[in-house]
Amino acid sequence: MPVLLPTSRSRTSTSRASATGHAVVIAGGGPTGLMLAAELALAQVDVAVVERRANQELSGTRAGGLHARCIELLDQRGVADRFLREGQIVQLAGFAWTRLDISDLPSRHAYGLALRQNHIERLLAEWVAELAVPIYRNAEVTGFAQDETGVDVTLAGGETLRAKYLVGCDGGRSLVRKIAGIDFGGSDPTLSNLMAEVEMREAPVCGLRHDALGFHGLSKAESGRVLVVVTEARCERSGEPTLRDLSEALAAVYGTDFGAHSPAWISRFTDAARQAASYRKGRVLLAGDAAHIHHSVGGQGLNTGLQDAVNLGWKLAQVVSGISPDSLLDTYHTERHPVAARVLRNTRAQIALLRRADAGLIAAREIISELLAIDEPRKRFGAMMSGLDIRYDLGEGHVLLGRRMPDLDLTVEGQKLRLFTLLHSARGVLLNSGKRGGIDIMPWADRIGVVDVAYDGPWELPAVGQVAAPKAVLVRPDGHVAWVDNENRCGLAEAMTKWFGPGGA
């Protein structure tokens, strides 16, 4: 068998990364795959990425930024500043082209970050390299076979990698999903959009417009070129778009292509909306676009994939390490499938409002825009579009249960400390603001940290408001609350067992 060598591996990873086997193999080195690799590496799991590209460069463009919750996730791992330094802080959230100012939502990052996907991927890849994750480049998964103990992953050159688990982060046309036989139900495209950044010899008519074809927009990009979004006359077009396709689409809408030339990139996307029936089949899991696709309106695709990775990473790490039973992986589908289903729902609603210029839809858009100018709907939709309101259904109980933990300014041993800094190592943490040393979790001490904290005042949650601060709270590695003190500590042992495995001796 030919020897397959990773192209990104530091000395620290040499002892744990072999040419033929890893605990986890990730198919696809885009944002979701890279984020998942980082999460697993933080948990000391032997993970490798298989990526068909020779490097991290992208042809064209895809996502254009990060929403508030994803900035928080990066902050939870201590790397948010890397992205904030390179992007532009903006009010990114919107619904059907109605901007939603979320600056008054209770988050340290109550904004979005305008940053193109090529930069997001580059920064994630640099972080992954620091964590000594091997990346097999110029390689592609072409098949796999799973058994009771693992998965044999076949690559294009005939080489095989053995893994305990395989995660498909290989996009909307995911081969991993297809080979696994997981249904990808949903709706076919009804419109096709071109997006491009081009130079124009004539001054463009900047702004947004609607007509019988759909919605269109021209604006000046940071590069000095013109950013174009245009609906094509026919939705059945496919393949890599050309400058001729763009010129024809512009002329059909504006009567001219404004002398478009020298495109930096051109992309085509549709309103097809599909979701995997299951995010798991045995030892094969799906994340990101491999699990869900939808129109780009609202900019939620990349962000949903990053959230998938953070939800899955710590769970998969605990199962691989023998800390938790295999059944913990079922909660990945249970929690993340409804989140993506809601994203598909809101993108379908936005496209329905945007797609035509008839009187009824114009009136509907105007009414929605007026509604979203009112504080309560604005905050509620802003929290939804930015991901700040996500709540996993962990049963009845305190309003915090299943929600993201706010990044509180805590006092720990007399020192001020942000809560997110306690999550940098991707471990669970139990915050205790009651009697110092009053909670004993010795059987789980190797996987959960207990921190005695002081905090004055109520906690505030997006789309919920203020809630009374509990005496103690158990926070999962992904930053979501798994248990809230009910004065008698009832259910704590059960919650720790469920999320962090049976207690040790």
Asked whether 228 and 274 are in contact (CB, 8 A), the reply is no
d(CA 365, CA 340): 24
- Using DSSP's 3-state secondary structure scheme, residue 41 falls into helix
Over 70: is that where the pLDDT of 11 sits? no
Over residues 299-342, the pLDDT tens digits come to 999 999 999 999 999 999 999 999 999 999 999 999 999 999 99
Confidence of residue 33 (pLDDT cuts 50, 70, 90): very high
Q: Which residue, among 305, 302, 268, 352, has the nearest Cα to 97 in the 3D structure?
A: 352
Asked whether 423 and 77 are in contact (CB, 8 A), the reply is yes
Residue 382: the pLDDT is 97
The stretch 91-110 carries a mean pLDDT of 95
pTM summary value = 0.93
Q: Which residue, among 63, 95, 65, 75, has the nearest Cα to 379 in the 3D structure?
A: 95
Element (H, E) at 448: strand 448-452
Average pLDDT, the chain: 91
d(CA 125, CA 32): 11
